[in-house]
Amino acid sequence: MPQASTLALVLSSSPLHEQDKLITLLTADRGLLKAVAPGAAKLKNRFGSLLELFSEGEFNYYWHEDKELVTLSKGELIKSFFPVVSAAENVFYFYLMAEIVIKSIPLNHQDTRIYKLLSAILRSREKKLAMDWLLLYFLVWLLRGEGLLFNPQRCSNCANRDFVRAWLRNDYRGLLCPACKTNERQSLSQEELTYIHWTATHAPDDPRTWDGNFAPAALIRIMVSKIEYHGEFSLQSRRYLPEFR
Cα–Cα–Cα angle for 200, 133, 239, rounded to 5 degrees: 120
DSSP string, 123-172: HHHHTT--HHHHHHHHHHHHHHHTT----TTS-TTT-----SEEEE-TTS
pLDDT score of 39: 85
- Every domain of the chain and the residues it spans: 3-80, 84-244
- 80 phi/psi in degrees, rounded to 5: -100, 125
pLDDT score of 96: 98
| Chain center to CA of 113 | 11
CATH code linked to domain 84-244: 1.20.1440.120
pLDDT score of 208: 64
pLDDT score of 114: 94
Q: Which of 162, 149, 156 is nearest to 195 (CA)?
A: 149
* pLDDT profile of the chain (245 residues), mean per 10: 88 90 93 90 78 95 82 93 96 98 86 93 95 97 95 97 95 96 96 95 81 90 97 96 95
157-186: burial string, b at 16+ Cβ within 10 Å, e else: eeebeebeebbbbeebebbbbeebbeeeeb
CATH code linked to domain 3-80: 2.40.50.140
Rounded to whole angstroms, the Cα distance separating 82 from 138 reads 19
Global confidence as pTM: 0.94
